[in-house]
Structure 1
């Protein structure tokens, strides 16, 4: 079976927020606002197939049918830029568990260096969403998925804002069973392995550093 095709969120509002965070003159506070809102739109698409279970709900007037998520949700931001996506998404699933994976890219070799992981015990029972704004070389995402699978995760979805063919190909090659949801597929990487046109360093811009 071949790799799944990435899902590109085409919602008009998503493209407006994406344009705002691409702009080099967008200040950090505006960058945060637009990234948070964009993250919600991307997650709305990524969570479209989450299973529900029926519950009964007592309204002020009558008993009616309702629904709740059938499985736990776990968000796993890749530190530190993934925290920017988490801030926007978490209010949609406030009872979700938040785990963390720390991976730093070596600027000389562009290879991922894993330095931290805090993962819960119930990964196998949950729908897991891996969060990282940029899918560039695909090295960090592939390593994070490897760690999640090793810890027991069975259902993992990658959420990113901007991706490129190189990163998509690398992640799909390493983990063809992992769906990828993104707001854009850009042209490619430059000689420093940054996505072009991209939006710069998402972590630096989000945290104002």
Structure 2
């Protein structure tokens, strides 16, 4: 069993609605102009600075590589925190192409499940293809979570580490894709959480999400 000493439950993660009401966050016009502000969506989307491996949710999303066998960054941290049984299950999945997603148990993690998605290596010669694949990562992760009965799901930035996707552009893709998915009103997801490491990234997401 995972230690709960430093974990954070859903009750500890502020929603956008709560952030906008706080003194440190002012709701401004979104850079995603296609979407008007939505109180209902803002109550279902959370934003937190911290360690995704410490979140006690139904599922967290791993920015995995195609082998699903662990690596650096968030991927390595999730595998270390989950323990060796995660790697054993991942090996049975036979890998995962870029833009797709797979789900496993969480093992020693506070989260019950891990959704593994493989982001694109950013291609400066073909940024549109990179964007399509990144959008697919979020869409497929959300769909898989829904069909697996997940009610609360956390994302860290996909492809923004060694894969080189520009952080601001990646955040906009993430925000737009999650908003479109939740707007369809077919999702049973009760909370989608964005997890960042730095306060400036929290501010960036808060401004991008309508």
**With structure 1 as the length reference, what TM-score do the two structures score?**
0.39
Ranked by relative contact order (alpha carbons within 8 Å, sequence separation 6 or more), the top structure is 2
User: Which is helix-richer, 1 or 2?
Assistant: 2
User: Which is strand-richer, 1 or 2?
Assistant: 1
